[in-house]
Amino acid sequence: MTKVYEKEIVALILYASIFFIILAIVIILFFYFSRKKIIQKELEKKDLEIQHQRDQLRAVIITQEEERKRIAQDLHDDISSKLNVVSLNSHLLKTPNLTDNEIVEITGNIIGITAKALESTRRIAHDLLPPVLDKFGLDAGIEEMCLEFNSSKAVQVNYENRVVFNESDKDKHLHVFRIIQELMNNSLRHGKATIITILFEEINNQIICNYSDNGFGFDMKDRKHQSGLGMKNIETRIDFLNGTILFDSAVNKGVKVLMKF
């Protein structure tokens, strides 16, 4: 009986050992594949982040190139052509036997065209960095931009600011200005909006911008509205601000934007 009992104990220990070995293997395999799956998901997430950063960088580069092309075209078509006319009129002054009236006329042409060239130069410089924004801050810069849009008579812009912006954050403010500028251009150009409302306020030490228009709006499910160059440009600037931006829109329902930074 003792030997039989011992054999049963040995068998029980053996089976228990085998059971715990199998259980240990199962647990090890479970943690191995779970960890592998977690690592795979992390890698996929990292790949998405890298791709997102690449898309943002591409958007920045394309935006810069488009801006350079626009400036080059303005310089060539506007400034260069005017200076050519000034040059031709200047050479005319060397023509012998000019009458006083001819000299006055040529000189007047030179002065008038030079004034137009200077005005065009100021406009190009203003587009690159609005002087009001640089000298007086974000509030004044946006207010001036709203006045310019209002002066077109195509849209009514209602702007209200309840925030005192920190003057030391001028670099950040330029990004905010460009985002608002992009939103307003989209509202007017694509949305055909007639009313735009902009409100800045501070809640829980965070600056919030509520933006809305009464334009055509768009289908939020349509991916093409989220992958455009303008949207990529906005997302890139929001990242620079460490902020967030949320869009709410529907066809024929206008656009609402909530921006925090």
pLDDT tens, per residue, the chain with 261 residues: 565 666 667 667 777 778 778 877 888 877 777 777 787 777 777 777 777 666 666 666 666 666 676 677 767 667 777 787 788 888 877 888 878 787 888 888 888 888 887 777 777 776 667 788 878 888 999 998 898 888 878 889 999 999 888 877 777 888 899 899 889 988 988 888 999 999 999 988 889 999 999 988 887 777 666 656 567 778 888 888 888 889 988 888 889 999 998
pLDDT at 124: 72
Instruction: Quote the pLDDT of residue 233.
Output: 78
Which 3 state secondary structure label does DSSP give 52? Answer: helix
What pLDDT is recorded for position 166?
Answer: 83
pLDDT (0 to 100) of residue 258: 93
Torsion of CA 186, 189, 191, 197, to 10 degrees: 60
Task: Give residue 199's pLDDT.
Answer: 95
145: Cβ–Cβ under 8 A, 6 or more apart, which residues? 130, 177, 180, 181, 184
CB 251 within 8 A of CB 218: yes
* The predicted structure's pLDDT at residue 66: 67
Q: Rg for the chain (alpha carbons), in Å?
A: 33
> Of 162, 134, 132, which is closest to residue 146 (Cα–Cα)?
132
For residue 73 the two structure tokens come to 């075209």
Question: How many Cα neighbours within 13 Å face the side chain of 22?
Answer: 6
H helices of 75-99, in order, are: 81-92
CA distances from 246 to 30, 220, 249 (A): 40, 11, 10
CB of 89 closer than 8 Å to CB of 117: no
Containing H/E element for 244?
strand 244-249
Give the model's pLDDT for residue 36: 75
The distance of Cα 65 from the centroid of its chain, to the nearest Å, equals 15
d(CA 205, CA 171): 19
Extract long-range pairs of 187-192: CB within 8 Å, 24+ residues apart: 187/155, 187/213, 187/215, 187/255, 188/149, 188/154, 188/155, 190/215, 190/216, 191/215, 191/216, 191/217, 191/254, 191/255, 192/216
